[in-house]
Amino acid sequence: MGNLISVDRKMKFQNFKRSELAERLGRLARICNDLDIPILIIVDGWESSGRGYVIKDLCREFAAKNFDVEVFDKDESFDDLYPFIRKFWVNVPEKGKIKIFDRSFYYKIFEKKNLSDKEIQKRIDSIKSIEKALFDDQTIILKFFLNIDKKEQKKRIEKLEDSIKEDFYIDGLDVDQVKNYKDYEKHFKKTLVASDFSYSRWEIIDSNDRKAASKEVLGLALDKISQGIERVVRQREENENEKRDYISSSNILQNIDLSKSISDDEYKEKKDKLQDEVAKLMYKFYQKGISQVLVFEGVDAAGKDGAIERLIKKVDPRLYSVHGISAPSKEELSRNYLWRFFTKLPRDGYVGIFSRSWYGRVMVERVEGFAKTNEWDRAYGEMLDMEKQIYDHGSLLLKFFVTIDKDEQLKRFKDRQREPDKQYKITDEDWRNRDKWDDYIEAMNEMLERTNASYAPWIIVEGNCKKYARIKVMEEYIKAAKNHLKKLENKK
């Protein structure tokens, strides 16, 4: 590990007092608070490498209301019921606040020295997606790895074992690391090199001397946070003026045959059977402990909610939750936009249905200017990253896009205004959105083109005939669900 440690740098901070460094760090934290910049500090490393000591020093001068330490030492019983990255997403820092991860997602690699290279790379890809998304979202990310040599680790663990008082800090991994120090060292090195991203670099800290280590961490935090502030301020200025020169030429929606329809009789004949089958399949997924994420997007009044109601008509209501996604709340706005969706992911066996979804980022937020160009432009990749996590967890992920033409929308808007029971469904906003029909179609076309991944394909649903759309949603669901189950069978 020695060659990863910078001796020069270590010297640089040794002339300062820790209290002095901590005070300066406290001031920088207040600036970040003023500027609404979130900070994520990861402190990971060998067992007994002194994470607690370092974290305590780091926090000394942070305002108590502005930071929080999350300890990721053990998985809760329910953590395994979700994509592994979810619990970290749920804990991302708010704007202006500091989150310290005591251990982190890297622990999910570090703790297992026998992980295959392939599995390591897969987890690093997941980690990369969260770090990249947070970095791009103006988060300052600091990653410290506390390194100690074998002799020091052995000494510390023996001391800990002698003292009941500190049992807080001991678990079986301690002993295993001392025993297999070389193997772990190799494992750590490999992981650290592979996850040393340009936007979130590792700092390897020589922690054989706790005080010196802590001083170095404080000094580095100072340097990196002040650089981070500069970066964010510059980035904000640039973003203000940013325009995109690229224009998507996709016209998927223009080429859809919206004349497709079915008769009332055919609808009646098919509906009940399909609903029974959907109910059976969803129950089968429950039994097998597989979660399902169903996304419904589409132009206003296309019939998303109607299709959802029919789809789940006969399903045990304990199995699903339907999330109607509207404008984000204060809590949601103060974190990365994906946070509110990670918190709503269904656990194994259950179904999460999203009536509108994360795709709002590249539709309403793009068209109405709620997101800046660079924000929605990079969202295509971020959303696919999230979906990849869901897919890799083994879930079924389907995305339905229900569409109608402009005349049909006008007809439905007018219907809604006429019928007292439906008036609540139509607002001034709907009319305003309609004025921007072409902008929305352009945004939707680009979205359909750029986010149609093999693991998360879009299913276009022709919606002019409501009944046709409802049947199609059910049929497509059934086809995909059966396929998913068969694929799982074959894997065994």
**Residues engaged in binding a second copy (CB under 8 A):** 30, 34, 52, 55-56, 59-60, 63-65, 67-69, 71, 76-78, 100, 102, 167-168, 283, 286-287, 305, 308-309, 312-313, 316-318, 321-324, 329-331, 353, 355, 421, 424
Cβ-based nearer residue to a second copy, 60 or 122 = 60
Alpha helices in 395-435 (DSSP H): 406-418, 428-435
Nearest-approach distance from CB 282 to a second copy, in angstroms: 12
**Judged by CB, which is closer to a second copy: 312, or 379?**
312
Using the minimum distance from each CB to a second copy, give the nearer residue, 73 or 269: 73
Amino acid at 58: L
* Helix, coil or strand: residue 183: helix
The residue among 45 and 123 lying less far from a second copy, judged by its C-beta, is 45
- Say if CB 97 and CB 66 are below 8 A apart: yes
Closest approach of a second copy to the CB of residue 174, in Å: 17
103 and 171 Cβ atoms separated by less than 8 Å: no
Which CB atom, from 71 or from 410, has the smaller least distance to a second copy? 71
Q: Report residue 462: phi and psi, to 5°.
A: -75, 120
Do residues 122 and 146 touch, judged by C-beta distance below 8 A?
no
Between CA 267 and CA 272 the distance in angstroms is 9
Residue keyed to tokens 């009536």: 355
Which H or E element spans position 354?
Answer: strand 351-355
* Closer of 150 and 323 to a second copy (Cβ): 323
Shortest spacing between CB 216 and a second copy, in angstroms:
19
| Residue 60 burial (CB count, 10 A) | 14
CB closer to a second copy out of 344 and 434? 344
**Of 257 and 428, CB closest to a second copy:** 428
Contact present, 153 and 50 (Cβ < 8 Å): no
Which residues have a Cβ under 8 Å from the Cβ of 397 and sit 6 or more positions away?
292, 293, 295, 387, 390, 391, 455, 456
User: Which C-beta is closer to a second copy: that of 52 or that of 394?
Assistant: 52
Smallest separation (angstroms) from a second copy to the CB of 422? 11
- Closer to a second copy by CB, 69 or 258: give it: 69
CA distances from 238 to 70, 190, 491 (A): 33, 36, 49
Cα–Cα–Cα angle for 106, 110, 114, rounded to 5 degrees: 135
Judge contact between 299 and 403, C-beta under 8 A.
yes
Instruction: Compute the least distance from the CB of residue 62 to a second copy, in Å.
Output: 8
Q: DSSP code of 453?
A: B
Is residue 310 a contact partner of residue 274, using CB atoms and an 8 Å limit? no
Minimum separation from the CB atom of position 462 to a second copy (A): 22
Minimum CB distance to a second copy, residue 449 (Å): 29
Give DSSP secondary structure letters for 197-228.
BTTB-EEEEE-SSHHHHHHHHHHHHHHHHHHH
Closest approach, Cβ 353 to a second copy, in A, equals 7
Token digits for 287?
A: 């039994």
CA–CA dist 401, 248 (Å, integer): 19
DSSP single-letter state for residue 82: S
Query: Which residue lies nearer to a second copy by CB, 255 or 287?
Result: 287
Contact criterion met (CB below 8 Å) for 445 and 248? yes
